[in-house]
Amino acid sequence: MTVTAALSSLPFLSFKASLALLPVLVFLGILMILDSYKLVGLHRILQTIGIGILCAISAFFLNSAGFRIFAAETKAYLNYGVPLLEEVLKAAYLVFLIQKQRIGFAVDAAIIGFGVGAGFALQENLLYLGLLPDATLLTWIVRGFGTAIMHGGTTAFFGILARNLAGRGEGRGPWIFLPGLALAYLVHSFYNQALLSPVLMTALIAGTVPVLLTLVFGWSENGLRQWLGEGFDRDVELFRMISTGTFLRTRAGKFLLSLTKAFPPSTVADMLCALRIRVELALRVKGDLLKREAGFEVVPDPATVARLKELKYLEKSIGPTGRLAMSPLLPKGSRDAWQLERLGYR
């Protein structure tokens, strides 16, 4: 190919690249706009896209080995082995975040999951753009609006299901990830089997995934709004009781006082202080979310950093046995733990 011919083909190549790469990024941007509480910032989105790219690179080498190992069953491996490998790779990051209680709601699970899938699709489509420079426009429409949205959607729905199971107080065992992984695998495997024409499959994916994710966003934000209202009132009342001393006359306060039979009074006092700081920090997180919903910018608060340091010091002073003894006083549920994680508590 001459230089002149190569230059004349650049606009067409750019158009094909746009078809292959932009749809998934545009929809990811729409998800971020729909996130009225701004649970996932741009820095974190870029991080998830980068992780998705690493997953795609890993999948390329692992699948290359897989196709060599199962050379006699290439079609079977493409239909069943590739979807399982790729969905496991994409899901791994969300498993880590959920286990570490760094995802609080279905909204951020959906955005992070779609971000990982988007990064995976970007890397995969860039690879195919290099390998198939002469592919038709239809190929890139299918890959951009079908395959890419599929990759983002399956990982997003995996995160949503896993987060909801974790939020029901069912623990964080491996089983909570199986339903989401099974759904992602079945959708991916069905897509790879090409039981429908490429155009029809693309239309099905592009028409259902965005609608379903938008519905999930509305449902999850309603749940978040309800949790904020109920939790804020509860925390304000608890903080008032601790500050005025009436907490010690409650059932929970009497339980705390009973711990003086097993721990020094100074340790029990530290427990009460730690409980108060936890309530303060919980109110801070809920207040920040309400500000974001109202459109106000949230700036870092040095007092919050000081409170976190004080909490760490108190919990170290209380010791593991003391923390276990006071655990009945602490709020239960992954969202309560997520609040401290959101403030940077490790």
Q: Count H helices, E strands: the chain?
A: 13, 0
CA dist 31 and 143 (Å) reads 20
pLDDT number for residue 8: 43
What digits encode the pLDDT tens for the residues 15-67?
Answer: 888 888 889 999 999 888 888 888 888 899 999 999 999 999 999 999 999 99
In a domain, 251, yes or no: yes
What distance in Å separates the CA atoms of residue 101 and residue 191, rounded to the nearest whole number? Answer: 32
Structure tokens at 180: 């989401």
Q: What pLDDT does residue 267 have?
A: 94
Range of the domain at 61: 3-220
Contact 121, 152 (CB under 8 A): yes
- On whether residue 203 sits in a domain, the answer given is yes
The whole-model pTM stands at 0.85
pLDDT averages per 10-residue partition of the chain, 346 residues: 42 75 90 84 92 97 96 95 97 94 89 95 91 85 92 96 81 84 97 92 92 86 83 88 90 92 92 92 88 80 87 92 89 73 71
The reply to whether 8 and 92 lie within a common domain is yes
What is the residue-wise DSSP string for 6-24?
A: HHHHHHHHHHHHHHHHHHH
The letter for the amino acid at 74 is T
**252 and 206 in one domain?**
no
Q: What is the pLDDT of residues 260-274, one digit of tens each?
A: 999 999 999 999 999
Residues 129 and 171 in one domain: yes
305 token code pair: 């950093």
**Is 155 in the same domain as 198?**
yes
Same domain, 200 and 264: no
88: which residues sit within 8 A by CB, 6+ positions away? 181
CA-nearest of 155, 121, 118, 167 to 140 is 121
Same structural domain, 162 and 62:
yes
- Kindly state whether residue 290 falls inside one of the protein's structural domains: yes
Instruction: Please report whether residue 229 resides in a domain.
Output: no
233 found inside a domain: no
Q: Do 100 and 205 reside in the same domain of the chain? A: yes
